Amino acid sequence: MLRITHQSTSFHIEKLNAFKEEAIKAQQLLQSRKGPGNEFLGWLDLPKRVEGNILESVDQAAQRIRSQSEVLVVIGIGGSYLGAKAALDFLAHQHSGVEIVFAGHHMSSLALQQAMDRIQGKDFSINVISKSGTTTEPAIAFRLFRKLIEDRYGKAEASQRIYATTDGEKGALRTLADQEGYTSFIVPDDVGGRYSVLSPVGLLPMAAAGIDIQSMIDGAALARTHSFNNENHVALEYVALRNYAYANGKKIELFASYEPALTALGQWWQQLYGESEGKDGKGIFPAVVSFSTDLHAMGQYIQDGERHMMETQVVLKNAPVQIEIPYDEANLDGLNYLKGKTLHDVNTSAFQGTLEAHEAGGVPNICIELDRADASVLGYTFYFFEYACAVSGYLLGVNPFDQPGVEAYKRNMFRLLGKPGI
């Protein structure tokens, strides 16, 4: 389903093997469940834990949403929406459910108004995702959309159109969900937000959009089996390669893809690795580029700028759609040499040509190939990156499951807004 098809020729085998040994030790620490942050290792077993009743409940709720509504407003920030957004973009060609509108991941009046405009004249439901219910961005959005849905349908019907994904026992959203009778799903206590995509956090929006969540969990379960049972698994290879490059001065990792459908997956990856590794003065800076678009924006810097970056290129082996380039009698654009080739052929050549150019320019590359764009491959990919991230964090010597730095801006913002007690 997923494999590394290329690694930079600048990686020396003996030195790389030393990082592989360190990755194996970090993996052993992860699997022993005795490392830092071990109270947040529930994601390791999510492919087993969400089977059966949980998947059935999610599917039933998704069917009800589709019968009620044309649009589902998903309110959440960070890991509460990035995974679902990645899945919806990656599998856009397979959607058969409701339209998804994301809100609550910013505090822009214009963007929120645009989200509200998208539901005008349409039946809608809400899935609000927050463990506490008090995170500022989603809490503001939920307050506004809750008023909209109650004004339109009345409180009684609105309560049947609001789905809360939150803590099982405590918090403002849990209290409200119990009081109003919202259908609710639990964010497991031992699963942090950025590792929650394979829980109801990600699965309910996906199912409402018509994605086959059973296949996604099956793919993740296969990745779990491979990760746990093989010290030469591709996740450890990825960990060793990126940490080798980091130790040799490559401080920035670019997630590069050649399908716009993969850009949101890169944004999910960016949060996962940025929050997990960026602490204690350490960590590779994760950034996302979309080729070939960004070759006309960032390509110059990548090719000739400061040599402090590496690339992880994620490519699709098989495109879900094939478009053939036609013959043109006048040939004013000079493209008749491409007659009979598909856009995927051209895209593949762009990838290969860019890889050669960037390698020659001193940018180490790791190439990850996905077999196809379906739910099982995506489930495998989600788990692969999560597992590799946790191992890489332990290899780096940090706790990959906390994010103390996130609180700094909040304290200042609350003070400036005059929040009581600050």
H helix intervals, 37-81 = 46-49, 53-68
- Which two tokens mark 279? 């602490």
Q: Rounded to an integer, what distance in angstroms lies between the CA atom of residue 23 and that of residue 239? A: 7
The answer to whether residue 410 is catalytic is yes
Q: Pick the closest to residue 82 from 205, 164, 210 (CA basis).
A: 205
> Which distant-in-sequence residues (6+ apart) come within 8 Å of 194 by Cβ?
78, 79, 82, 271, 272, 275, 276
Query: Is 344 assigned a catalytic role?
Result: no
CA atoms within 13 A on the CB side of 113: 3
Of 135, 132, 149, nearest in space to 65 by CA? 149
Note if 308 is an active site residue: no
Beta bridge partners of 252: 285, 309
CA distance linking residue 389 with residue 269, whole number of Å: 9
* Cβ-based neighbour number of residue 265 at 10 Å: 26
CA distance 128 to 73: 8
Can the peptide bond before residue 349 be classed as cis, meaning omega within 30 degrees of 0? no
Candidates 169, 296, 306, 329; catalytic one: 296
Q: What is the largest CA-CA distance in the chain?
A: 74
Catalytic member of 237, 275, 311, 386: 275
How crowded is the C-beta side of 271, counted as CA atoms within 13 Å? 22
Catalytic residue among 122, 147, 170, 410: 410
* Amino acid found at 156: A
Give me the long-range contacts of 49-57 (CB less than 8 A, separation at least 24). 49/188, 50/198, 50/199, 50/200, 50/203, 50/217, 51/217, 54/200, 55/203, 55/213, 55/214, 55/217, 57/185
Catalytic residues, by residue number, are 275, 296, 410
